[in-house]
Amino acid sequence: MQVAKVDLFCCGSLAALCLASLQATPAHAQDASTSSAGPTASIEQPEKVGEIIVTARKRAERLIEVPEAITAFTSQQIEESGIESVNDVALRVPNFSIVEAQQPGVSAINIRGIGQVRNAEPPVAVIVDGVQLSSASQITQDLFDIERIEVIKGPQGATYGRNALGGAINIVTRRPTNDFEGWGQVGYETGDTFAASAAVSGPIVEDRLLFRISGSLRNSDGDIPNVTLERPANFEDSQNFRASLLAQLSERMELDLRYSRLDTEAGAAWYTLVPPGTSINAVLPVTADRLGRSERVLDDASAKLDVDLGAATLTSITAYSKVSSDLDEDFDFTPLDLLSATQTVREESWSQELRLASARSGPLKWLAGAYYLETDKSLDSVVFLRPGAGGLLVPFPIPGPVPFSATRSTDDNQAYALFGQIGYRILHKVEATVAARQDWDERVQLDRVAGEAFARTFKSFQPKFQLTYYPNDDATFYVSVGKGFRSGGFNPNDRIVRSFDKEEVWNYELGAKAALFDRRLSLSAAAFVTDIEDRQVYVFDLLAAAQIITNPIPAAQVRGLEVDAILRPLRGLELSASLGLLDSEIQRYDPTVFAGLPAAGDFTGNKLPQTAHSSYSLAAQYSHDIAADASVSARAEFNSSGGDYFWEIDNLDRRERIDLLNLRLTGRWRGLRVTAYVENLLDEEYVLEYISQRFSGAPLGNYSIPAPDRRWGFQLRHQF
């Protein structure tokens, strides 16, 4: 019945949008510009919704003309809505969620029902300034000095290859400028949090050599108390630095050099034991006798060379990245000194991409390229028995921390890909696009505990077919069929399976976009069906210090709808809304995978975990000029999601709906801006993550981790 309702709503919404957009007044394309709020941009007249230029398909295109479901945010939207991380982006995008609970960099991303597991490949490709990130630990970074963020939903395997089976996130930082400019910002927030960020840009040699340097600092005592230690558990001390150099080598050749570094020390794993009979959604105090600590250091460098060949542009992108992550945590999460654990990740990679793209003019557009990635990674996890375990967990005394179990692995991976895309205007208003990518992923793992090595190659051909109809400059209708895949790999032990298979999806999508009523209203909608093959599922073996991935779901399906609307009825007033609906089903399940374990069972017909049945976002912003060079604006935003289960697939642990109300008040005078804000105004208490004993092997019971309560703060920003 839920599937039928989703299908009916999809058809009705798309039909209404089709009828309305056919009546849209044709308008000529405008240059991209910034906006005050919401996932669109404004043009010359602020009461009209304008357009954004995006690079989601590795070429500059008008957002309204791209046959993909894309939510894009400009730099001004990012600043005025308070987006400072990918987590903030997820709140404002339907059918997209991120949970970062264990430690900074370890996240669980879900987009359109395609999920992620710890220390495994993400369901999205993340691209920063044209460079595709190679590690899941790099995704959840602070966002500052950003020009644009694009969230592309649906498989993007034909463009970005492996791991883009759920979509892609394209982050574009601000480029160096030919004029000297900069900005600085300081802020204070709940938890005795101090933050500062700044950027400066200008010419070294005018018109030839430009630079940009930016950075951010954040120091927080934290606001989630540990009642045993009588101090906050979620402290943070982080520093970010980014530098870019843009060289115009000739009229047809441009070189873009970039380097960034992130260094974070933070609290981690403030889980708490859930007593028997307690609701899994109950927010419980943190009681661990040891403070969880984590450290993450990211180093990234890239060189991008663009050569204008006249009829085409040749692009070369060379990138290097290094990830260092350390975790030290309590592992029984009680006031007793029973267990502790450490986890160390070291990852180093370099990549090379070469592509040739046709010039923008003409009915034929094409792109062809090749990609190479080499990755070396080590992952060590150790569980320790501590003195309190003596006589309680084991029948002998424990004088100090003693290793109880450990997994140690080293991975040496090489990935190759060839890709291409051809788009042709069959008729003046109809365009057909065919794209494809062939990926090879060679993986070798050494188990340093058992002294054994394993090797497998995962490969996938990922085509995409799109047919697009443009009735006028302000309307687009498209139908799309595309494939995506996530590579398989190896587990640190063979307790369940040593190797897990790749996951592949096919997506069938119908979408429409339109700007109506003289561009005062912007609408977009997409209905889709995604077939999933060999869904990867995560199980945590706590006592064996093993995080195990398997493929117990040979077939699953997700059906969904997404609708976005932006309305500017009056000058200075903007109203926006977005809605996402999902209905998932495990169509076939293999009960032999977990046979004999607490997680055993036949879960055919169940819902996929971490997949919210509904999510929506409502926002209103009003700006008013109080003088020739002064203005004030107020913004209210409400985000809601619910109807999903935590990461267990037996559907016994249902998460309560989460409703968050955020307010922002901003005053501007010339280059000065002052903002006061409240996040989670209604002080909604909710559980960020719940870990069932059935799927973790925890000896003492179930665990959960609380989310932060209401937060408030202010920011002072000056631009010059």
Q: How far apart are CA 663 and CA 622, in angstroms?
A: 12
Q: Which two tokens stand for residue 461?
A: 């051909």
Residue 88, φ and ψ in degrees, nearest 5: -65, -35
Q: What is the mean pLDDT of residues 40-64?
A: 68
User: Interior CA angle at 643 toward 486 and 90, to 5°?
Assistant: 55
Range name among 46-50, 58-62, 153-157, 402-406 with the lowest pLDDT average: 46-50
Confidence at 314, pLDDT banded by 50, 70, 90? very high
Q: pTM for the complete prediction?
A: 0.90
Can you tell me the mean pLDDT for 462-477? 96
pLDDT at 216 over 70: yes
C-alpha 189/C-alpha 385 separation (Å) is 38
139-167 residues labelled b (16+ CB within 10 A) or e (exposed): bbbbbbbbebbbbbbbbbbbbbbbbbbbb
3-class secondary-structure state, position 614:
strand
- pLDDT for 580 beyond 90: yes
Tokens of 445: 């793992």
What pLDDT score does 129 carry? 92
pLDDT of residue 30: 33
pLDDT in tens, 160-213: 998 999 999 999 999 999 999 999 999 999 999 999 999 999 999 999 999 999
Confidence at residue 47, expressed as pLDDT on a 0 to 100 scale: 54
Q: Are 686 and 152 in contact (CB under 8 A)?
A: no
Q: Does residue 363 contact residue 408 with C-beta atoms inside 8 Å?
A: no
Query: Does pLDDT of 34 surpass 60?
Result: no
Read off the pLDDT band of 236 (50, 70, 90): very high
Q: Given this model, what pLDDT does residue 21 score?
A: 44
How many CA atoms lie less than 13 Å away from 566 in the CB half-sphere? Answer: 27
The token pair that represents 129 in the structure block: 């300034």
Burial degree of 395 (CB within 10 A; 0-12, 13-18, 19+) = exposed
- Among 360-369, 583-592, 653-662, the minimum mean pLDDT is found in 360-369
Asked if the model's pLDDT at residue 125 lies above 50, the reply is yes
DSSP class of residue 593 equals T
- pLDDT number for residue 142: 86
Q: How far apart are CA 188 and CA 220, in angstroms?
A: 9
Name residue 241's beta-bridge partners.
Answer: 215, 261
694 pLDDT more than 90:
no
pLDDT at 246: 97
How many other CB atoms are found less than 10 A from the CB of residue 510?
16
pLDDT at 32 over 80: no
Tokens of 224: 């989630």
Q: Give the least confident one: 50-54, 59-63, 403-407, 688-692.
A: 50-54
**pLDDT tier at 59 (50, 70, 90 boundaries)?**
confident
Alpha carbon distance, N-terminus to C-terminus of the chain: 57
| Closest to 157 in 3D by CA, of 429, 389, 459, 426 | 459
Per-residue pLDDT averaged across 369-392, rounded?
A: 94
Q: DSSP secondary structure string, 464-522?
A: EEEEEEEEETTEEEEEEEEEEEE--EE-SS-SS-SEE--EEEEEEEEEEEEEETTTTEE
Q: For residue 661, what are its two tokens?
A: 């109300």
Each residue's pLDDT tens digit, 508-549: 999 999 999 988 999 999 999 999 999 998 887 766 667 789
How many Å apart are CA 229 and CA 271, to the nearest integer? Answer: 14
Q: Name the one residue in this structure whose structure tokens are 């899941």.
A: 136
Residue with tokens 């008040």: 665
Identify the weakest region by mean pLDDT among 73-82, 446-455, 708-717. Answer: 73-82
- Predicted confidence at residue 699, as pLDDT, reads 74
> DSSP string of 506-574?
EEEEEEEEEEETTTTEEEEEEEEEEEEEEEEEEEEETTTTEEEEEEEEEEEEEEEEEEEEEEEEETTEE
pLDDT at 137: 83
| Highest CATH level, class, for 2-719 | mainly beta
Read off the pLDDT of residues 350-361 as tens digits, 9 standing for 90 and up: 999 999 999 877
Q: Which residues contact 143 (CB under 8 A, 6 or more apart)?
A: 78, 83, 84, 85, 86, 88, 89, 149, 171
DSSP 176: P
Q: Going along 359-451, which residue ranges are E strands?
A: 364-385, 402-427, 430-447
pLDDT grade, residue 696 (50/70/90)? confident
Q: Poorest-confidence range of 33-37, 295-299, 504-508?
A: 33-37
Check whether 20 has a pLDDT greater than 70. no
Helix (H, G, I), strand (E, B) or coil at 344: strand
Share of the chain above pLDDT 90, in %: 74
Residue from 530, 615, 514 nearest 565 by CA: 514
- State the pLDDT at residue 25: 37
- The per-residue pLDDT for range 592-613, each reduced to its tens digit, is 998 888 788 999 999 998 899 9
The pLDDT score that the predictor gives to residue 538 is 82
Collapsing DSSP states into helix, strand and coil, what is residue 160? helix
pLDDT band for position 433 (cuts 50, 70, 90): very high
pLDDT-derived band at 55 (thresholds 50, 70, 90) equals: very high
CA–CA gap between residue 237 and residue 354 (Å, rounded) = 38
pLDDT tens-digit readout, 60-74: 889 999 999 999 998
112, 164 Cβ separation under 8 angstroms: no
- CA-to-CA distance for 481 and 162, rounded, in angstroms? 17
The pLDDT value given to residue 135: 85
Q: How far is CA 322 from CA 127, 303, 316, 691, in A?
A: 16, 16, 20, 30
CA–CA gap between residue 199 and residue 213 (Å, rounded): 6
Residues 72 and 35: their CA atoms lie apart, in Å, by: 11
If you average pLDDT over every residue of the chain, what do you get?
89
Instruction: Please give the average per-residue pLDDT across 223-228, as a whole number.
Output: 95
Task: Please state, in angstroms and rounded to a whole number, the distance separating the CA atoms of residues 663 and 616.
Answer: 17
SS3 percent helix, strand, coil of the chain, rounded to 5, is 5, 60, 35
Half-sphere exposure in the Cβ direction for 677 (13 Å, CA): 26
pLDDT band of residue 324 (cuts 50, 70, 90) is: very high
**HEC profile for 210-267?**
EEEEEEEEEEECCCCEECCCCEECCCEEEEEEEEEEEEEEECCEEEEEEEEEEEEEEE
Q: DSSP 3-state assignment of 2?
A: helix
pLDDT at 544: 65
Nearest alpha carbon to residue 300 among 282, 318, 315, 319: 319
Query: What's the burial of 629, exposed, middle or buried (CB within 10 Å: 0-12/13-18/19+)?
Result: exposed
